Structure 1
Amino acid sequence: MNDSGRSADSAAGSKRKDARRNQRVLLDAAAAVFVASGVEAPVRDIAARAGVGVGTVYRHFPTRADLVIAVYRHQVETCAEAGPALLATAPAPYAALEEWVGLFTGFLVTKHGLAAALRSDNAGFETLHAYFLDRLLPVCAQLLDAATASGEIRPDVTAYQLMRGIGNLCVGAESDPRYDARLLVGVLVAGLRRPD
């Protein structure tokens, strides 16, 4: 391959990388706006938070459903990738678990609003829910196993039980300003600790 072919490949790769970065910025902005204002928030608010024009949002996500699904998948991936990274950097497995549960809780508060927006497409939502479980159950199990092996937590709670409990505590949190799901999830996670 000659130099012009290599530079064309390099330019194309750079454009793809920029497009992925721009899409990530849009998804992060949409998630933040959804948390603050709900999934029916105006697209102009998402565009403003991302620092782009409204047309850019529609170019990436032609419909609101496309955007909602993309935010959901993006948040699942962010949560899934965070687990191993936290285990590698946290001072102890329990600290990694606590931090991951905080991220997971933030996602769940948003997820309930996303779920409501997707109710008209039940089959699509079921597919997304299966994706959610397939990606996040193993991550939660890895964190629990590490904290159990280190002797920091009790061994009798499964990843599914913990995720289901956290999910139940998050129901309705997005629409009730008097309810702090994070506080109660913190109590739940603290209850996993072995007594000294």
Structure 2
Amino acid sequence: MTNPMRSDARRNYDQLLDAAREIFAAQGTDASLREVARHAGVGIGTLYRHFPTREALLEALLGENFEALRADAVQRLAAPDPGAELTAWLRAFGTASAQYAGLPASVMEALHDPQSPLHASCKGLRVAADDLLQRAQEAGRVRADLTAGELMAAANAMAWVARQTPGTTDRYLTLLLEGVLTGATARR
């Protein structure tokens, strides 16, 4: 059982997360952690006490969103049209991946680094994507030779490209989906 945080520690923690959201939104996930601490009004030591690594900070910032995406994928498994469900989930994943500049690279790195604090969340997303993909493949809605790793890498790549040209996320995801779906269009 963990001890609850003191009120000042909780306040610092929350201020650091708020600052990280703002700084990462403006500068990307590679932004200076010193800048995050300064923006939160705390020292860098306080940041590192709460978040020993950049990945730990990202996990705290994104973990709930990633869990919601994973749970959404699980719910979609029971729906009658697996191709449409995979498409809808990938759009949500692509939008989430484009939230911060640098996030797609962080996700892909975490998938390959079991020591990363982000690894479990990213792996959960990959397993969820694999389950949705397999169901869509079994229904003949998605190319049979596609793997979940390839699909996530392609979706992350589309999110990265979309960050370079704001307002294009939906267009790039549509292009990706039209390349993997069989006999149907990826348009909404």
- Answer yes or no: same fold by TM over 0.5: yes
Written as runs of structure 1 = structure 2, the 5 A alignment for 1:161-176 is 161-171=150-160, 173-174=162-163, 176=164
Say if 2:142 and 2:180, in contact at 8 Å, map to a contact too.
Answer: yes
Equivalent residue for 2:20, pick from 30, 33, 39: 30
> What letter is aligned with 2:48?
P
> What letter is aligned with 2:28?
G
The count of aligned residue pairs is: 169
| 1:100-146 residue CA offsets vs partner (Å, 9 max, x unmatched) | 32343244333625858xxxxx9xx9443992663332121011112
Give the Cα–Cα distance (whole angstroms) in 2 for the partners of residues 184 and 68 of structure 1. Answer: 28
User: In the superposition, relative to structure 1, how do residues 147 and 84 fare at CA in structure 2: closer, same or farther (>3 Å)?
Assistant: farther
Equivalent residue for 2:75, pick from 66, 84, 88: 88
CA drift at 1:162: 0.9
Give the Cα–Cα distance (whole angstroms) in 2 for the partners of residues 155 and 114 of structure 1. Answer: 25
Q: Quick check: 141-150 or 32-41, which moved more?
A: 32-41
Say if 2:82 and 2:136, in contact at 8 Å, map to a contact too.
Answer: yes
What is the TM-score with the length of structure 2 in the denominator?
0.58
CA drift at 1:79: 2.3
Partner of residue 6, structure 1: none
- Return the structure number with greater helix share: 1
CA drift at 1:151: 4.0
Partner of residue 141, structure 2: 152
Written as runs of structure 1 = structure 2, the 5 A alignment for 1:20-169 is 27=17, 30-31=20-21, 33-39=23-29, 40=31, 42-43=35-36, 47=40, 54-55=41-42, 59=46, 61-62=47-48, 66=52, 68-74=54-60, 75=62, 78-88=65-75, 91=79, 92-109=81-98, 110=100, 112=102, 126=113, 127-128=115-116, 131=119, 134-169=123-158
Give the Cα–Cα distance (whole angstroms) in 1 for the partners of residues 23 and 149 of structure 2. Answer: 29
Structure 1 unaligned regions, length at least 5: 1-8, 48-53, 117-121
Say if 1:79 and 1:100, in contact at 8 Å, map to a contact too.
Answer: no
Give the Cα–Cα distance (whole angstroms) in 1 for the partners of residues 119 and 162 of structure 2. Answer: 23
1:194 matched to 2:182? The reply is yes
What is the TM-score with the length of structure 1 in the denominator?
0.56
| 1:166-195 residue CA offsets vs partner (Å, 9 max, x unmatched) | 233334554x34673442122212333321
Percentage identity across paired residues of the two chains = 21
Say if 1:93 and 1:150, in contact at 8 Å, map to a contact too.
Answer: yes
Say if 1:87 and 1:96, in contact at 8 Å, map to a contact too.
Answer: no
> What letter is aligned with 1:137?
R
Say what the alpha-carbon RMSD is for the aligned residues: 4.7
Structure 2 unaligned regions, length at least 5: none
